[in-house]
Amino acid sequence: MRMLCLCLLALLAWPAQAHEIRPAYLGITEDAEHRFELRWKQPAAGEFAVRLVPHLGNGWLDQPPAEEDATPRFVLRVWRPPAGQGVDGQVLSIEGLDRTITDVLVEIRLADGRELRDILNAQHTSLVIHAGGRGAAVASYFGLGVEHILTGIDHLMFVLGLLLLVRERWRLFKAITAFTVAHSITLGAAALGLVHVQPPVIESMVALSIVFLAVELVHARRGRLGLTVHYPWLIAFSFGLLHGLAFAGALAEVGLPPKAIPLSLLLFNLGVETGQLMFVAVALAVILLLRRLPPLPAWTRWVPPYAIGSFASLWLIQRLLIVVS
C-alpha cells in the first residue's frame, strides 16, 4: 500500500494528457514529374504541443511551409520545394525527439513506386535516406505497441483498478482475458477500417470507464459490492471494446504499411499485450510484497480509488472540452 500510494502520488508530476503524446508523422511523396511534397503532422493538445522540429539535409524543411494548419489535436505543415533535387542520401533528423516519448513514422513514396518506411524515437532520432531499398520497418510495430501501453497511464489505471477490485485469482484471470480479447477485436476492426471512430469521443468514454471503476472500488471498500465484483469479466469485456478503439486511434494516426497490414496489426497488438502482461506481473508482485508489511492506518486504503478517480475525472473533463471545441 505504501508503494502504491507513492506511485499514485508520483503521477501528479505526469502530464494530465495521459495518452495525448501520440505518434507524429512525416510523409515525403514524389510525383511523376519528380516534384516533392513533404507533410509533417504533429500531435497537440489544445494549444500545447511538444517541440519537435524535422530537418532534412538539403534544407527543404528549414524553409517556411507552403501550408500550415492547426486543430485541437494536431499541427499540420506542408512543404512543396522546387523540382530538381531528390532525397537519396539525405539525412533526416527530428530535433527535440530525444527528450520525448513520442514516435515519428517516416513514410517516403517515390515516383517509381518504391515505398520506404521507418520509425524514429528518442533512441533513434535520425536516419539516412537510401532510395535503393530500405523496406518497411514492420517489426517496429511490436515495440510501438509495448511503448503505447506502458506510456498510456489511463489504460494502466483501468487494469490496476481491476487488480485492486477483483481478489480471486481465477476471476481476475477471466477479467484480464476478457479485457484483452475485447480490445483486440476493436483494435483490429478499427485499424482495418471496418469501424470508424472519433478519437476525442472514444478517449472521453475511456476516461469515464476509469471513473466508473474508481466508484466501484469506493463502494467495495464500504462493503457494497457492485456489478464489477459480481461480473468482472463482463465489465472488463465491455470497457475493453472502448480501450481497443482508443488503441486503434493511435495506430491509425501512425499508419499501417499498405502491403503488410495484417503483420503490422498483429505485431502492434502483441506489443500491447506484452506490455500489459508486464504491468500486471509487476503490479501483482508489488501487491504480494505489500501484504507482508505491517498494516498501515485505515485511511490509506482510500488513496488508490480516490487517486484513480481524480485523475480519470480530470482526463474526462479535458477530453470533453476537446469534443466540444
Q: How does pLDDT run across 138-156, given as a tens digit for each residue?
A: 667 787 778 778 877 888 8
pLDDT grade, residue 2 (50/70/90)? low
Burial string for 9-47 (b: 16+ CB within 10 Å, else e) reads eebeeeeebbbbbbbbbbbbebeeeeebbbbbbbbbbee
When pLDDT is averaged across residues 182-189 and rounded to a whole number, the result is 81
Hey, is 292 helix, strand or coil?
coil
> What's the grid cell of residue 265?
496489426
Domain segments of the chain as ranges: 2-18+152-324, 24-137
| Selected residue with higher pLDDT from 312 and 191 | 312
H or E segment and range at residue 141: helix 140-150
| Selected residue with higher pLDDT from 268 and 281 | 281
Please state, in angstroms and rounded to a whole number, the distance separating the CA atoms of residues 311 and 64: 39
Please state, in angstroms and rounded to a whole number, the distance separating the CA atoms of residues 160 and 144: 22
Task: Tell me what pLDDT residue 323 has.
Answer: 74
For residue 114, pLDDT beyond 80: no
Please state, in angstroms and rounded to a whole number, the distance separating the CA atoms of residues 209 and 160: 13
Amino acid identity of residue 218, one-letter, is V
Task: Tell me what pLDDT residue 79 has.
Answer: 94
| Selected residue with higher pLDDT from 102 and 87 | 87
pLDDT digit string, tens, across residues 56-81: 988 889 889 999 988 777 788 999 99
Average pLDDT over the chain reads 78
For residue 196, pLDDT beyond 60: yes
For residue 23, pLDDT beyond 70: yes
pLDDT grade, residue 167 (50/70/90)? confident
Beta bridge mates, 108: 28, 116
For residue 82, pLDDT beyond 50: yes
Please state, in angstroms and rounded to a whole number, the distance separating the CA atoms of residues 320 and 210: 15
> What's the grid cell of residue 236?
472488463
When pLDDT is averaged across residues 197-223 and rounded to a whole number, the result is 84
* Cα 15 to Cα 12, 149, 150, 213, distances in angstroms: 8, 16, 15, 22
For residue 296, pLDDT beyond 50: yes
Task: Tell me what pLDDT residue 58 has.
Answer: 86
* Cα–Cα nearest to 163, from 171, 172, 155, 154: 172
Q: Are 265 and 189 in contact (CB under 8 A)?
A: no
Q: Are 182 and 240 in contact (CB under 8 A)?
A: yes
Task: Tell me what pLDDT residue 18 has.
Answer: 40
> What's the grid cell of residue 321?
472540452
Q: Are 145 and 272 in contact (CB under 8 A)?
A: yes
DSSP 142-168: HHHHHHHHHT-HHHHHHHHHHHHH--S
* Cα–Cα nearest to 115, from 27, 54, 36: 27
Beta bridge mates, 40: 26, 77
Which residues, in sequence order, are CB contacts of 40 under 8 Å at separation 6+?
24, 25, 26, 54, 61, 65, 75, 76, 77, 78, 79
Task: Tell me what pLDDT residue 39 has.
Answer: 92
Task: Tell me what pLDDT residue 116 has.
Answer: 78
